[in-house]
Amino acid sequence: MQKENLYNQDSITALASPWGESAVAIIRVSGRDSLSMLSGLFEGRAGSGGRGNSGSPPLTEAKGFTMKHGVIRVPGSGEEIDEVVVAVYRAGRSYTGENSAEIFCHGSPAIIKRILDLLYEAGFRHADPGEFTLRAFLNGKLDLTQAEAVNEIVRAKTDRARAAALSRLSGSIERKIRSIKDGILKILAAVEVRIDYPEEDLEEEIVSERELEHWQEELEKLVSTYGIGKILQEGIPVVLAGRTNAGKSTLFNQFLKEDRAIVSEIHGTTRDYLEGVVSMGDIPIKLYDTAGYKMPAHSLEKEGMKRTDRIIRASRLILYLVDASTGVNELDREFFSANQNSKTLIRIWNKIDLSKRPCPVGFFPVNAKTGEGIIKLSEVIVERVLGGRSLESAEPIIDSIRQKKLLERALGALKDFRTGLSENIPLDVLGVDLKEALDALGEITGEVTSQDILNEIFSHFCVGK
């Protein structure tokens, strides 16, 4: 069998480092044309490779195993996204066996996302789970004795990815897309039945203008949530506030389950702020640990508290901690009165183990050190973040450019169908548009087969002579 037949050598990309805040992130690209496609976004700095830079050869001519320093720019507008280093690998001597590269960029989710989006726009496809490994294997880059292991990896990754994709799809968005898909499937069935049963006693109108309008609006609405989805993907800002030593950093660590923030007994340890992304009930929460309030001692602390106020203003939710052993004092009251109308405040009664005082009304009891009450607290946070609605009933929001692209493809096809219908384009040709719309939606939720169309026909039309 020919290698070339085994898979399409189209160019793929994926983030190789874990998603989240980090110093450096690595985005991997691979595919026969990956380097030339990447070179359209990359501009080398003097002395390095890159496009349109006098004296330096373009990325496409870079040798394997070389590093190129430069910037990623938006083609056209020229907007600079990030300063990066690109490691170039040549076919035959790369992990996948194809031309490939690794982009080292700054590890901010926003930047990573921007670069990935640019790569998609340049024609890269998001790699399927395990696809780099699969390609490596198919190109003979992995020892054949490892094949068994590779198989397991392919399977495990796919299953896990499937589960992850499904969990992301669970609930409202999946239901929404399914309902749109069912709507379009009904229209296609109405088209097909008129084709396959030409003599049947069927109504003239295939589908009402109102119905088409409806599905188009639904698709448009969903596409427009992409911005919101982005925020969701990057995390909803939630801030931990309170006086110094109220246990903010302890709670922060408890949520993150790692020793990221320095937790100490000295008041005002956290002079700057810390951020970390945690997942609560499938929603990414960008948690900020801030400098605590106290009677300001020196300028550095003043600066820290100013910053805390800025973060509080930018956050969706404030978790205000009070040390149960000291109780509510003037500073706390001041804060509460300043934020009394805010629906975004949760008062937390921390260190319940150190105090015999009962938890006051309106406070939420936890023990940040042991994690007691923290699961309940997460639930309350999720509930508050979603404005009291559960995720299930929340308006669906899309969070990936892949979904956005597929939805836009479906939308475009549906619009083409509408135009074609009004221009009396023949039905069989119009069927191509509807099938395209269904294919696009099917890629998000699962395939649509011709059997589905027939089932739809026979359950809704009384046909057959």
Give least dist CB 196 to other proteins, A: 5
Nearer to other proteins, 152 or 213 (CB): 152
d(CA 163, CA 350): 36
Note whether 134 binds other proteins by CB under 8 A: yes
Residue 453 φ then ψ, to 5°: -65, -45
Closest CB 117 distance from other proteins, rounded Å: 24
Contact between 258 and other proteins by CB under 8 A: the answer reads no
Mask 403-432, x = binds other proteins (CB under 8 A)? --------------------xxxxxxxxxx
Residue of the chain from 159, 182, 209, 392 that contacts other proteins (CB under 8 A): 159
Contacting residue, 77, 299, 341, 451, with other proteins by CB under 8 A:
451
Q: What is the CA radius of gyration of the chain?
A: 28
Contact call for residue 200 and other proteins (CB under 8 A): yes
Q: Which residues, 6+ apart, have CB-to-CB distance to 108 below 8 Å?
A: 21, 25
Stretch that binds other proteins, among 113-121, 153-161, 340-348, 381-389 (CB under 8 A): 153-161
Distance between alpha carbon 123 and the CA centroid of its chain, in Å? Answer: 19
Cα–Cα distance measured from residue 75 to residue 40, given in angstroms and rounded to the nearest whole number: 7
Binding to other proteins (CB under 8 A) within 292-331 occurs at none
**Is residue 353 part of the contact set for other proteins (CB under 8 A)?**
no
Position 155 contacts other proteins (CB under 8 A): yes
How many residues comprise the chain? 465
CB of 453 to other proteins, least distance (A): 5
Instruction: Give strand pairing partners of 364.
Output: 348
Please name which of 421, 222, 235, 206 lies closest in space to residue 316, comparing C-alpha atoms.
235
Helix pair angle (401-422, 172-196), 10° resolution: 30
How far apart CA 312 and CA 443 sit, in angstroms, is: 40
CA distance 139 to 133: 10
- Near other proteins by CB under 8 A: residue from 67, 147, 262, 338: 147
Footprint of other proteins on 6-35 (CB under 8 A): 6-8
Nearest to other proteins of 277, 427 (CB atom): 427
Q: Are 129 and 110 in contact (CB under 8 A)?
A: no
Can you give the binding site for other proteins, defined by CB under 8 A?
Answer: 1, 5-8, 128, 130, 134, 137-138, 144, 147-148, 150-152, 154-155, 158-159, 162, 192, 194-201, 423-432, 449-451, 453-454, 457-458, 462-465
